[in-house]
């Protein structure tokens, strides 16, 4: 059995109700810190808003993953679309 890492991540999708943003999906990444006793609540969270075509690959990177380092996220949609890069977590 592998040892749990300090941070664990969970993705929560949030409904986008504005028809202006059809084709996009959004939500939040909840970050749980094992060193922060917050009674089951996320210690940190980050909102995201991505084109629908990237939603599944974006979620697969974060949902139910663990890390010993807190990630710093910068995502450039134009660069990803141009390079057809995939999301990675170290």
In a structure prediction context, what are the per-residue pLDDT tens digits for the chain, which is 90 residues long?
567 899 999 999 998 899 999 999 999 999 999 888 777 788 888 888 888 998 898 888 888 999 898 877 666 656 555 554 444 454
Residues 25/52, Cβ–Cβ less than 8 Å? yes
CA distance 35 to 7: 9
Q: Which residues pair with 49 in a beta bridge?
A: 26
pLDDT at residue 2 in the model: 64
pLDDT at residue 85 in the model: 45
pLDDT at residue 19 in the model: 93
pTM above the 0.85 mark? Answer: no
Q: Which two tokens stand for residue 11?
A: 């993705």
pLDDT at residue 28 in the model: 92
Q: For residue 9, count other CB atoms closer than 10 A to its CB.
A: 21
pLDDT at residue 37 in the model: 75
Which H helix or E strand runs over 60? helix 52-62
Residues 15/24, Cβ–Cβ less than 8 Å? no
């Amino acid at each position: 059995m592998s040892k749990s890492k300090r941070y664990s991540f969970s993705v929560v999708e949030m409904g986008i109700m504005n028809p202006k943003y059809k084709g996009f999906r959004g939500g939040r990444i909840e970050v749980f810190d094992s060193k922060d006793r917050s009674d089951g609540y996320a210690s940190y969270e980050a909102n995201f808003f991505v084109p629908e075509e990237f939603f599944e690959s974006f979620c697969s990177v974060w949902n139910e993953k663990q890390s010993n380092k807190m990630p710093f996220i910068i995502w450039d949609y134009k660069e990803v679309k141009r390079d057809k890069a995939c999301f990675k977590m170290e």
